[in-house]
Amino acid sequence: MTANTLPLAGFRVLSAEQYGAGPYGTMFLAQMGADVIKIEPPKAGDTARAVGPHYLRQGESLYFQSFNLNKRSLTLDLNSADGQEILHRLVKTSDAVVNNLRGDLPDRIGLTYEKLSQFNPAVVCAHLSAYGRDNERARWPGYDYLMQAEAGWLALTGEPDAPPTRAGLSLVDFMTGTMMTIGLLGALVDAQRTGIGRDVDVDLLSAAVHQMSYPAVWYMNEGDVTARVARSAHPSVTPSQMFRAADGWVFVMAQLPKFWDILVERIGHPELASDARFVTPADRLANRDILTDLLDGIFSTQPVVHWVDLLAGHMPVSPVFGLDQALDNPYLETTGMIDTVSHPDRPEMRVLANPIRMNGERLPNRAAPLLGADTETVLAEAGFDAAEIASFKEKGVV
């Protein structure tokens, strides 16, 4: 698949972004072919470049590579008059402007549709903040972990007798970045039809609350507060949880009645199906602890691979992998989820492929840019001559 055949080829997105949520979302745009120009403060750049512990060179981290594939880097001081002049010229030939700044900053820095539409009426301005731009928390800084805490995620995660536990990854960041991208693309489609852009807003806390999904609807309508269940089990279906194998854990999901029948047959204990304690889904749920002990006794007689091989393809089952096992899984090579890109400091840098396929092919990747690697090129494309670019550099604007 070539860059010209990608669905967003020819679209330009300016993004005043940093860290994880915004860059994660715009990376999808870049991987689908958009020219995503990452606007970074001169000298230090995106704070993600300094996030350790693994670096390609000083100020260039592997963490940064995780969220910025396929982009170009422009260093620009948006707080300066010259920086604003450059921004306004770039906006004239751009389709969208993105930021994931604190809620009160987009208006102050001039990144809203109200401020930018005079230079391009069709521009879409997407804003990703912690708490939104139009309420008493607009000035509050915020991060993923805080959203998991306030939205109730921690209270739902972990063993019942353990402290509230966050998800092991910054899932709120990633989900919010994805939602921002969906909103931006929807507004962009409309702008292509009408020639009129708009603001698009999404915030971390709203996204985190939205992901509470069915437990939220249960509570709001029935007062049902979903509680944590041992073994990462499903709250209302069993057996649908982890079980102890001889050498680790296996996750088995008899989520439908037919899978319960398949499970007891394939593990060699069909008598469990007629046991009065386990006949119906309600019976099994009422006797979850007893059933867990019985199945632990069976699964603990053989290693994880035995049970996965026995059940795979017949019912939902998975080994419980550590990070190393998960990434060394040969199946990822089969599906093309591991990609290799060339970076100046690591010619064969391994990265994750985008999960989206177009015409059956994974989206192409290239390494994230060095800080300011594309500044001169972007400014020249905008019509600034060599003397003007040199002047901007001397004044620290770029």
Nearest to 208 by CA among 164, 138, 161, 142: 142
Nearest to 201 by CA among 109, 94, 112, 90: 112
pTM of this prediction?
0.95
Measured CA distances, 9 to 186, 261, 364 (Å): 17, 50, 12
Q: How does pLDDT run along the chain (398 residues), one tens digit per residue?
A: 666 689 999 999 999 999 999 999 999 999 999 999 999 999 999 999 999 999 999 999 999 999 999 999 999 999 999 999 999 999 999 999 999 999 999 999 999 999 999 999 999 999 999 999 999 999 999 999 999 999 999 999 999 999 999 999 999 999 999 999 999 999 999 999 999 999 999 999 999 999 999 999 999 999 999 999 999 999 999 999 999 999 999 999 999 999 999 999 999 999 999 999 999 999 999 999 999 999 999 999 999 999 999 999 999 999 999 999 999 999 999 999 999 999 999 999 999 999 999 999 999 999 999 999 999 999 999 999 999 999 999 999 99
**Contact call for residues 303 and 334 (beta carbons, < 8 A):** no
Query: How far is it, in rounded angstroms, from Cα 217 to Cα 220?
Result: 5
For 362, the token pair is: 């994974």
Query: How far is it, in rounded angstroms, from Cα 363 to Cα 258?
Result: 38
Which residues are 250's β-sheet partners?
243, 319
